[in-house]
Chain A
Amino acid sequence: MNSDKKQLESKLLAEFVPRLEKTTLSWYLLFGFFLLLFAFGVYGLVTQIREGHIVTGMRDNVVWGMYIVNFIFFMGLSYAGALVSGSLHLFRSHWRGPVIRIAELVTVISLLIGPCFILFCIGRLDRLHFLILYPRIQSPITWDVIAITTDIFGCFIFLYLSFIEDFATLRDRVNMKMPEWRKKIYKVLALGYTGTPAQRKQLVLARDIMAGMIIAIAVIVYSVLAWIFGVTLQPGWHSTIFGPYFVIAAVFSGTGLLIILMWFFRKIYHLEEYITRTHFINVGVIMLVIACFYGYFTFSDYLTKWYGSVKMDKVLIDRLFTDFYWLFIFSNYVGILVPIVVVGLPRLRTINNITFAALIALIGLWVNRYLIVIPTLETPYLPIQDTREAWISYSSTWVEWSLSLAGIAVFGILIMLATKLVPIISVSEMTDDDEKYKQKVSF
């Protein structure tokens, strides 16, 4: 490491280590707020377990509701985090340092939260183990179980590999004011890494392999999730482009969340020096390109369905433009155009503008998932004459909202805990010597 890099490392450690050592009142307050939201979700869950799924808005016709919407949404965030962090690492983007750790954390934390919503949705949890005991390879649900399990393992390995150098740096730092058990954790997790060329070669090789793998896995796994819908003969779902459409939507939402988190951490930790306008513009441009692709896929999907005029597809699209009109407009017009306009026009490219556009895109994409799931289930092929009114129309209940908010709270809690374990900006990535990498690693 040259002297400049050494200096930068010292500066970063001087800035971030005190944040690992001390916990401020505002940290506790925010943590307490998230715990309250989480407790509200637990209360909702207890109510649901005690009284059954009747306390949700799901009924015989609309058997999937907000839980599945949240599942798709969180999984999308995770896959986007994997794609972004994997790509940034693999292509050695020179600006990756301050943002890659946030993307890595988004990947793993979203991946832990998403599948929980499936468990909330299942009526007979006592039969859950049947998925493992009696799997049917032909079932998309089995594909999803295999894919998500594989993804969780891969993302954890990738995250751990990216932490090793920082664990070693923290282990070697003397006079850290923290309990001995925490120092021991750093020592164990650092694996005796000292940055020797031999160790570095192993680490770089492993990280590169895992970066490539999590990109591939992200595409495959989110496609599998899309195929759960795509292989089903339901109006609006039976589409050949659902796989790539879901992947693009995932990256779109993930870049949006990444920008929002960059904005938050920049404000909270005063990282103006490290996370600059250039980082926002760079991630913003990725968001812009993805927004264009996403808009193209959305238009293509609805155009072919509308032109095909299959009866129930037509009924579905009629409903999207009547009963769900404003949600549809917000999700598929405002949610796409705002990021394109804000990032596309140089004069609008301020940090706050880009963050605002990312927020609009993120909310729009949640609504998009809602519009994929709910209206279709309210428009089945079989006639729904003579069934109860409440079974035909879906309306979410406080229990579903409480668990949704709990999901957001757990995301916040885990991010906050992670920032207590390692610096939110990866010291190793910031001080990384890419030329050295190229010399040391040869495939």
Chain B
Amino acid sequence: MKNIHINIRSFMGKRLAVVFSLLLLSPLFSMAQDSATAEAAEKKPPSLEFIQYKNANGTRTLKASLHYVENKERKAVRGAEITFFSGADKSLELNKVKTSLKGEAIFVIPVSKVLPLDEAGLITVGASFAGNEKFEGIEDQVSVKDVNFKLTPNGEDSIKTITVMAFGTNDKGAPIPLADAAVMLYVQRMFSPLKIGEGKIDSAGVCVFDFPAGLPGDSAGVLHVIARIEENETYGNIQADTLLKWGVEAVHVVPGSYKALWSQVAPTWMVQTLIILLGGVWGHYAYAVYKIFKIRRIAKMEEYEKFGV
């Protein structure tokens, strides 16, 4: 390194060497400054958004979103390790998942996993981030009662209906209806669910929705129907879904002049362009090669004129 420095100085002159070296080394100074600043700076406090919902198939989905604010802008914390746990005292570690580029970590608890209950019969699930060199640690958890939630389609009559049943359990383990709990009915669209009904569970633990006719489905008329109880104080988020062939079959018309490059046949303009380009280029090549042969032929002719052979 020393030798290189001496060489540079020898062909630049002292003052210019200093200026030039500073220019080259400026990123290093900046790096040193940055690292010093980073050490001195306090860790940033991130925000953790944790939601969980029970699915009708018995699984439970846990989702944690980790963000921080920089320059008044909300940014995702990428690659942070999120620990999902259960139990008020975090007695059961469920899994560790790294956050995606959007700062999200998702874990689905399988049916086979038995979650611990506290004295009040509540299930506690949560997510924690231990922190790292840039961010402080943070955690969030929710305690909910377990619930049986079911969605049943009734499509035999001319009017189609969806029946949603929701039951919790009392201290003795007997089912009790989730009376007065608000239920939402959705169909999944391309980007997000579309709400098509809202009701309340009655004293029998049932809520019936009339299903609207004429909803566009996929090419087979299939709709993805979702029923949810959202942010219930006791039971948290609960979801049940099913696929029903109750929609109108979507017909995708491909226009005659479809301008996609992945069509079976290349567009005419492209073929024409290629022929013109290749014809022009290879034509010139052929002419140049012809000139090469001509040089040889001239040489032979000159030889013949000179020596007569």
Contact = CB atoms under 8 A, between A and B. Distances in A.
The yes or no verdict on A and B being binding partners is: yes
Interface of A: 136-139, 146, 150, 153-154, 157, 160-161, 164, 191-194, 196, 198-199, 202-203, 205-206, 209-210, 212-213, 216-217, 220, 231, 315, 318, 326, 329-330, 333-334, 337-338, 341-342, 345, 347-348, 350, 352-353, 356, 379, 383-386, 389
Contact of A341 (B11, B23, B271, B278): B23
Interface of B: 7-8, 11-13, 16, 20, 23-24, 27, 31, 75, 98, 100-102, 104-106, 261-263, 266-267, 270-271, 274, 277-278, 281-282, 284-285, 287-289, 291-292, 294-296, 298-300, 302-303
A198 B300 CA distance: 12
Contacts, number: 116
B289 to A, nearest CB: 7
Contacts of B100: 383-385
B278 A150 contact: yes
Given A353-B11, A385-B104, A137 B27 contact: no
A338 B24 contact: yes
A334 B27 contact: yes
A137 B277 CA distance: 13
Contact of B295 (A146, A191, A217, A345): A191
Q: List the 5 shortest-distance A-B pairs measured between CB atoms, nearest first.
A: A192-B299, A206-B291, A137-B266, A138-B261, A206-B288
A202 B291 contact: yes
Contacts of A389: 98
A429 to B, nearest CB: 18
Given A338-B23, A352-B11, A385-B104, A209 B284 contact: yes
A333 B284 contact: no
Nearest to A140: B261
B292 A191 contact: yes
B282 A137 contact: no
Contacts of B292: 157, 160-161, 191, 206
Contacts of A157: 285, 288-289, 292
A164 B295 contact: yes
Contact of B277 (A220, A347, A350): A220
Given A192-B295, A192-B299, 19 more contacts: A138-B262, A138-B266, A138-B267, A157-B285, A157-B292, A191-B292, A192-B296, A202-B298, A213-B281, A213-B284, A213-B285, A216-B281, A315-B101, A326-B27, A329-B27, A330-B27, A338-B24, A341-B23, A348-B20
A97 to B, nearest CB: 22
A150 B286 CA distance: 12
B150 to A, nearest CB: 28
B287 to A, nearest CB: 6
13 contacts: A138-B270, A146-B274, A154-B281, A161-B292, A199-B298, A206-B287, A206-B292, A231-B261, A345-B16, A352-B7, A379-B101, A383-B101, A385-B106
Nearest to B4: A356
A203 B288 CA distance: 9
Contacts of A205: 291
Contact of B16 (A191, A196, A347): A347
A333 B26 CA distance: 11
Nearest to B303: A192
Max chain A C-beta neighbours (<10 A), residue from B7, B101, B261, B292: B101
Contact of B291 (A203, A329, A330): A203
A384 B104 CA distance: 11
